[in-house]
Structure formats: C-alpha cells, structure tokens
Amino acid sequence: MKLFHGSTVMVNRPVILKTQRLLDFGKGFYTTSNQNQAERWAEIKKKRSQKKKAIVTIYQISNHLFSNEKYKLKEFKRADEEWLDFIFTNRKTYKEHTYDIVIGPVANDTLYATLSLFEANILTKKETIKRLKTHKLFDQISFHNKIVLNELNFFDTYEIGK
C-alpha cells in the first residue's frame, strides 16, 4: 500500500518534529492514502511557510501493518462523537496518547470554523457532527514513535507545479 506526505521538502527518512501547532491526532508524522490530499497539504505548507517548493513524498508500507499486533492502533471509521472528542482533546492540549498509529478523517480547512463553534459551546456535539458530515473527509494516518516510523519505506518523491 502507498501512503503520501505533503511538505516543502523531500522526507526520505520520516521523523516526528517538535511542533508549535496542536494537531488532530497529536504530535506525530502525518500521511494520507489520498494523493490529491497530500498535494493539497504540500501547497498549504508552501504558502504558510513561504517556501519555494511543494513536495509529495511517497512511502510503501506492508498491507498488514494496520493488523500487526505489535502496534497499538486507533482507527476512526467516520467523523463521530468519539472522533470529535479525540481531535478536540489533541487540539486543546499537548497531552500525548499511547497509540502508535491513528487513522481517521481529517478535518479540512473549511471545517475549522465548525470546530471553533463547538469549542465556544455554540454548537452541540450532534450539531457539530451533522455539519462535519456534509463535507468530504479525507483520511489521515499518523505515526507516533520512531519504531513504527521504520515501517514507512521511501518509494518516490515529486514536486508540484514545477
């Protein structure tokens, strides 16, 4: 199976960087199975950082990685209350969870306003989930320690919009 990572640099050896941002699934290395989503992330990172390049790195992983019992996996099949609670906790604090891999929907940029309304107690959980379900949610797959990062095998890289 192939996974994609959008950035402003080629990442042939993934690492977990210290981050100033609070992310959906906590501190980790983020990928997606959707190539278009990775390209979009690369473009967003390019604009935010004012770098000159948007780059997608492709990794090959074992088809059995997500069923490997040596790793603790958390998978959200859809945007539901459990998913909302998890991302809300990760976006509010730097509290680290104990999962090696987390898989689930990504809240794209148009959804941050909805999450902000939820955070301000303007929307209930049910109203928030209802609004989130009206959007196409791509997946994100995050890796949360050095050992599991070794499962990502560099395959290729390319620059967007050369």
> Which residues of the chain have a pLDDT value below 70?
19-20, 107-112, 133-137, 162
Question: Which residue type occupies 129?
Answer: I
Residue 142: predicted pLDDT: 95
Q: Label residue 86 exposed, middle or buried (CB < 10 Å: 0-12, 13-18, 19+).
A: buried
For residue 66, the model assigns a pLDDT of: 95
How many other C-beta atoms can be found within 10 angstroms of the C-beta atom of residue 47? 11
By C-alpha distance, which of 116, 111, 91 is closest to 27? 91
Domain ranges of the chain: 2-159
Q: ∠87-60-57 over CA atoms, to 5°? A: 70
In this structure, are residues 8 and 54 in contact, taking their beta carbons and an 8 Å threshold? Answer: yes
Per-position b or e across 67-78, b if 16+ CB within 10 A of its CB: eeeebeebebee
> Do residues 65 and 51 make contact, with C-beta atoms less than 8 angstroms apart?
no
pLDDT for 119: 83
